Structure 1
Amino acid sequence: MITTGKIALCATLFVIGVSLIEACVLTHRQRDSATPFDWYEVWISLADVAGRKLLALLPLSLATPVFAFAWDHRIFTVTLNSVLMVLLLFIGQEFCYYWYHRASHRIRFFWATHAVHHSPNQLTLSSAYRLGLTGKLTGSAIFFAPLVWLGVRPEIVLATLSFNLLYQFWLHNTWTPKLGWLEYVFNTPSSHRVHHASNVDYLDANFGGVLVIFDRLFGTYVEERADEPCRYGLTTPTRSRNPFVVEFEHWASLARDIASAGNLWTAISYVILPPGWRADGAGESTEALRQRNLATRRAVPVSTQGR
């Protein structure tokens, strides 16, 4: 009998196997390049997925009691007995995923985990399964609790989320070109390259999972431009090859900022405001970086712009 555990194991082995094939191909293609393929990025991603599989054996999820409460107080009981109901579940899950993903970039508490996913300085298929060890501890799955409250069984909500993440595996590459009209509706490699880029113009964009319709609706869609090649990694790049540093450096910096806050409100602000925010105004939030970038562009003489 095929169980969900066996399906999950097969999916994990599949994505790892395909990512290693890609790594071998890219190693061959980039062997004479100025930027050769970095296998350490793959090893760190493999360490991350191994760690998450081990942690999954422990009952550490903060979302579990929230899901249980939402299910006990559900307002309907949804039966997926038609194409329409499946479609509504898909759209509802995409909506919840959009806000989960956007919050993961805009709230530092969630970013401390999600930054691990953005830490690779090269975008490859192995980047897809570097998700951070502390996701279950932060309770980020609570963003999907409204679906449970509406009457969708918790295991179905989590299974739908797993399929969403599995779809996103193939998006993490630099070799797939733009896909024509599909770019208007679906999350594609081109769209996701923008999401992983640290260029100021590309920050905090393209949060959708399978679709980009909510990005377009809420004004967070940004198209990949030929005149602005994507630069991958964080705005302050992670250079460490130590997986523990990669996993916990953002939690450590958050703890240091809280300890030095001076008062309770500033400490809370460090937790709930966007990454890069600082009480003294000298931070590097997306807004601050864009203001500086705009000021720099205005200061450049017109005759030298575009060189």
Structure 2
Amino acid sequence: MEFTNPLVYGVPVFIAFILFELTYSISHGDDHIYNWKDLAASGFMGVGSAILGALFKVVFAIVFFEFVYELCNPLVDGVRRNFLGYESFSYAWYVWLLCQLADDFTYYWFHRANHEIRILWAAHIVHHSSDNFNLGTAVRNGWFTILYKPFFYMWLPVIGFPPEMVLVCLGIEALWQFQLHSVYVPKLGFLEKIFNTHTMHQVHHAQNIEYLDKNHGGFLNIFDKLFGTWKELDDSINVKYGVIHSPNSFNPMVILTHEFKDIWSDVRKAKKLSHKFMYVFGPPGWSPDGSTLTVKQQQQLFRKQKQLQPSVLFERPN
């Protein structure tokens, strides 16, 4: 059975909604929502990502998923049986729901790994590098994540989900992720208890210390809540979007490669092999001497300072 990837129809919708939000922001005096040079950079990277993604999907993802599916789910007397002993999954409606749930679980860990492993962060930082949060930022995707993303999802065809079903679920996930990038959608009441919403994704794109590495979920927030990475938007906090170590450039090539250059610089100056390893595969911000801090270290320091603040504020002068 063949299915069309939803993203085929998503691209013109993306463009239409970006133009709509851009027009709306200008007409309502929200000039800070969009920056023309920033939008151009995001658009360039979005187009490049779409082209490379399409080519790579045909050459690698589809072929790769088909290969592992055929290997782990061989035909036996006209019926596909998984190597674990059960019949491979059908196209029943509940199987689609299970596949979408499994996709969301995988997306959570794929996304979280992109934030917690520096070499993956170097590819993913592209998406966070804008100081603006809008639908244009949604298409600001790195070009290198497509090289390793299929490896996170390969377990789905391995256990018996048809490859085309997996690809459709990936497309649905991407569509949901796109529309999350808007400041114009308020909190959504009871839906906030289950779904990853626009305000939650604003938290994810913020560089405020308390918001760093939060809300990695796809269309659900249950995995963030289960694994301790969920954070609700606090109206008392002035959100600042982007990354702490910004590329400070609208040049797409700089945006795409600046963190890789920083990794190479750190690896070259490191004297120990273990330090070289950590600069590549450790968390972003890791350093052997504490000259730079990881997100967890920054947040620990932030909490300590916050706890000390009352005593500092009310301390009697000498």
Query: What is the TM-score with the length of structure 2 in the denominator?
Result: 0.86
1:238-281 CA distance string (max 9 Å, x none)? 42111111111111111212222223322221222111111222
The 3-state SS of whatever aligns with 2:154 is helix
1:233 Cα offset (Å): 0.3
Q: Is there any run of 5+ residues in structure 1 with no aligned partner, and where?
A: none
Separation (CA, whole Å) in 1 of partners of 2:271 and 2:241: 35
Stretch of structure 1 that moved more, 148-157 or 114-123? 148-157
Larger radius of gyration: 2
Native 8 Å contact 2:33 2:134 kept in 1: no
Separation (CA, whole Å) in 1 of partners of 2:311 and 2:118: 37
1:100 Cα offset (Å): 0.7
Separation (CA, whole Å) in 2 of partners of 1:59 and 1:237: 28
Which residue of structure 2 lines up, in the alignment, with residue 26 of structure 1?
25
Q: Is there any run of 5+ residues in structure 2 with no aligned partner, and where?
A: 74-81
Which residue of structure 2 lines up, in the alignment, with residue 244 of structure 1?
253
User: Where do residues 178-197 of structure 1 align in structure 2 (5 Å cutoff)?
Assistant: 178-197=187-206
The 3-state SS of whatever aligns with 1:4 is coil
Q: Tell me the amino acid that sits aligned with residue 17 of structure 1.
A: A
Q: Tell me the amino acid that sits aligned with residue 51 of structure 1.
A: G
Percent of matched pairs sharing the same residue: 33
Q: Tell me the amino acid that sits aligned with residue 94 of structure 2.
A: L
Native 8 Å contact 1:67 1:142 kept in 2: no
Separation (CA, whole Å) in 1 of partners of 2:281 and 2:126: 18
Native 8 Å contact 1:30 1:37 kept in 2: no
Native 8 Å contact 1:47 1:243 kept in 2: yes
Equivalent of 1:78 in 77, 89, 105: 89
Query: What is the TM-score with the length of structure 1 in the denominator?
Result: 0.89
1:28-64 CA distance string (max 9 Å, x none)? 3336x6x473122211111012212332465597656
Question: How many residues were matched structurally?
Answer: 299
Q: Tell me the amino acid that sits aligned with residue 177 of structure 1.
A: P
1:300 Cα offset (Å): 3.1
Which residue of structure 2 lines up, in the alignment, with residue 51 of structure 1?
48
1:68 Cα offset (Å): 4.8
1:178 Cα offset (Å): 0.7
1:298 Cα offset (Å): 4.0
Separation (CA, whole Å) in 1 of partners of 2:33 and 2:292: 33
Stretch of structure 1 that moved more, 260-269 or 184-193? 260-269
Q: CA, structure 1 residues 86+156, in 2 after alignment: closer, same or farther (shift >3 Å)?
A: closer
Native 8 Å contact 1:254 1:270 kept in 2: yes
Q: Tell me the amino acid that sits aligned with residue 140 of structure 2.
A: R
1:163-196 CA distance string (max 9 Å, x none)? 1010121111112111111111001101111111
Which residue of structure 1 lines up, in the alignment, with residue 118 of structure 2?
108
Tell me, yes or no, if structure 1 residue 229 matches structure 2 residue 201: no
Q: CA, structure 1 residues 63+257, in 2 after alignment: closer, same or farther (shift >3 Å)?
A: farther
1:106 Cα offset (Å): 0.7
